[in-house]
Amino acid sequence: NKRAVTEKYMGPIVKTVMTRCIQCTRCIRFAEEVAGVEEIGAIGRGENMQIVSYLEHAVTSELSGNVVDLCPVGALTAKPY
């Protein structure tokens, strides 16, 4: 069974390839604990969990580009590439 996940708009810096996501929640924990903003979260449970921005808003924190470096599988990548 392959997961089919629609790509989400995360803002002008971050591009998503969510079929790669292993649901480690590093991006969520970074946004909440380090950046101090709650712009990224998870919806669903288990294999249906998806990483999304709240209310389909863009991730606008000045530290939002750092989630690209944190993602171990490349589910969040930089848009210029």
pLDDT in tens, 4-51: 778 888 888 888 898 899 999 999 999 899 988 888 889 999 888 888
Amino acid at 10: M
Best CA proximity match to 76, nearest among 19, 4, 2, 29: 19
CATH code linked to domain 14-75: 3.30.70.20
CA–CA distance, 58 with 73 (Å, rounded to integer): 22
pTM tops 0.85, yes or no: no
Residue 1 has pLDDT above 70, yes or no: no
Domain limits, the chain: 14-75
Task: Write down the residue that tokens 């996940």 correspond to.
Answer: 5
Q: Which two tokens stand for residue 4?
A: 């089919």
